[in-house]
Amino acid sequence: MKVAIIGAGAVGGLLTARLGATEAEVTLVARPNAATAIRRNGLTMVTPLNRVARLTPRVTDDSLSLGPQDLVFLCVKAHALRGTIDTLTPLLGPETAIVPMINGIPWWYPHRQPEPLADRPLASVDPDGLLWRSIDPDRVVGATTFVAVEGDGPCRLRHVSDQRFVFGDAGGDAAGRDNPAVDRIVTLFGQAGFQPAKTTDIRQAIWVKLWGNLAFNPLSVLTGSTLGRLCNDPGTRETGRAMMLEAKAVAERLGVVFTTSVDERIAMAAGVGDFKTSMLQDYEAGRRLELEAILGSVIELAERCGMEVPMLRAVSAMVDLRARERREVVA
């Protein structure tokens, strides 16, 4: 099985390290500078048990050299997906499955869904429909993960906790099909020592993950606090809870059925401990935030449903201003 991983960030590095230990032919596709650094220094991974593994993965900055792959994992920020299209195209054969490992509501979410979605792209994550036109949603295997992993210096990553991944066909039950690529991915991730699961309702899994992200990622930027601190402080916990309840109402209007309560989801987040959210890591590094995918998309879905989400709007506005002020200072 040929597997390409686009993106040399924390998640891309983790998948490269772990999937590369299986029988699959795994190649990391990175930007030229990152590819050069990894070829020179290798990749160092610190496990949740503080064991250090030094790896020499197959890496390239030229996807044309690889040819068609069986699986392609997109491990970039949601707003960077548009920049992967030229890299992705040479990797596609007739049966290639595309697996976006991204935060928030993905661009393919309206695929084969009833009104108010009805195959209409979301402006918050795909402003001009470029992703919708360029990446066939029928190729997509939806994915979400609960692993906590972070960059820990050049060519180095730290896997903090958790091993869970959930995969499902982007068409969902509406497609009326069983996508064999999902089974191949679940088997591969099991061989890599992860805890993968298959679902017929990947949108429900995406909302469970997003539920925590949409509350505590933005709050971490506003406060500078870790996930554990935010979940255990009474004030920020209640603020996050109010945001999650607004999002829950939107998701339920779209047909999502939650089998986890808000408080159970907060407890899951608190269990990660003193971990900086990906959004806080991006803010501190001066990188663009995934605000549109994580909050803007939910606000847009609320608008389509004719619903008010005042807490989500307020927090989104504050984080957006804070991010713009930081960019002005850096500039």
Which long-range contacts (C-beta less than 8 Å, at least 24 apart) are formed by 307-314? 307/249, 307/250, 307/253, 309/246, 309/247, 309/250, 310/246, 311/239, 311/242, 311/243, 311/246, 312/214, 312/243, 312/246, 312/247
d(CA 96, CA 65): 16
- CA–CA separation, 138 and 154 (whole Å): 36
From the list 2, 198, 209, 248, the catalytic residue is 209
Residue of 106, 124, 127, 26 lying closest to 73 (CA atoms): 26
Cβ neighbours of 102 (radius 10 Å): 24
Q: Round to whole Å and give the CA distance between 18 and 14.
A: 6
Local structure of 124: helix, strand or coil: coil
Q: Is residue 209 annotated as a catalytic residue, yes or no? A: yes
Active site residue ranges: 209
